[in-house]
Structure 1
Amino acid sequence: MVMADELQGKKIAFIATEGVEQVELTEPWKAVERAGGQPELISIEDDEFHAWKHFDKADTFKPDKTAEEAQVGDYDGLVLPGGVANPDQLRTDENVVGFIRDFAAAGKPIGVICHGPWTLIEAGVVKGRKITSWPSLQTDLRNAGAAWVDEEVVVDAGLVSSRKPDDLPAFNAKIVEEFAEGTHEESAEKTEQAIHAEATPS
């Protein structure tokens, strides 16, 4: 059960853009707020963008900051929602990818759901990590060196992952728990190894 003050004083970054699956943005956002945390929306640009509900346009959202402006040190946790078009755009933005890589390297907790892990692959931080996702990403994740599993929610040293919107209750509970715990030294070490492996020719 989420306590109202579990994330008091903690700021949580949500990175999303056009095409984000709305419920995967709004439900974790509400969970963070209910736990007393302060969510902030980061995007590629500072323009409003549309979220989607499956195949239909849904609400618009105005980012608080761009990825270029955002500083890793200002945040205690990170959420990467899914939706197909959303991570497909995020993974091509060097500021977004750099922010995620630095966040993971700092050992800070990350929650990722559905198609969100695409950006983790681009950041080179999934090698050696246990993770789940939307099923169609499993080959991409395994090719990037991750251990993909088909489970409702997976936790690997501060990296929380889930497969789809139906998993949101379990996902939300776990991200709040991990954000409350804070930095994981083991996660920082795993990220360092993954980045080193990415940079070393095979």
Structure 2
Amino acid sequence: MARKYPRFLLSNPSNTKSSGPFIIHTLAPQFIVKPEFDEKRNLYDSVLIDVWSQDYDSAEVYEAMKEIPQWFKHSGRFQSNHEDDLLLVEIEKLDFLLDYETHLTVDQARKLIRLLFPTKSKSIYELSSSYGLKHLFEKVSRRIIGRHGASKYCGNDTAIEAFEKEGFQWQQTGPNRCMNISAKELKRANRLFNNYHQ
């Protein structure tokens, strides 16, 4: 898909008055925009900053700008150095998330854990249990599948075993377990994947 949009370039310079990133349209009409993202790192708009081509057609510029969200989703995100984009790129590489007809396995859940929760806290995080985390894994798959309502099922026991095999400490709370996950990493995961709609 990246080859379909070779004329766009994501730039994140450190020596500009306003912070990046910026997206440059490298072919005529040449222009630069400032992308705008929602909290889930979806690019929803672009603000035109400048057009370098002389005698350009405004309609042509705005027509090209309409392609930017699709370009970013399929190509631009892979050029980004934003920490959320880096995580989303790695999550999107997990092809097993697309298969919503089979349940998440322990090994698959472990791969998600390594990406979503790379840090083990010193104390048990008691505000979220394995039951909530198994739902989080399902929501991650929902974003990747991109089909309304479809998600890959994860069992509570699968989540528990996966966290145990990844070496997390735990505390039993009825049929569920709380683990020493990072509150910051959980908040980030919930922001990116909770209540996600295509």
For this structure pair, what is the TM-score category when the shorter chain's length is used for normalisation? under 0.3
> What TM-score do you get using the length of structure 1 for normalisation?
0.23
From the CA coordinates, give the structure whose radius of gyration is larger. 2
Tell which has more relative contact order, 1 or 2 (C-alpha 8 A, sep 6+): 1
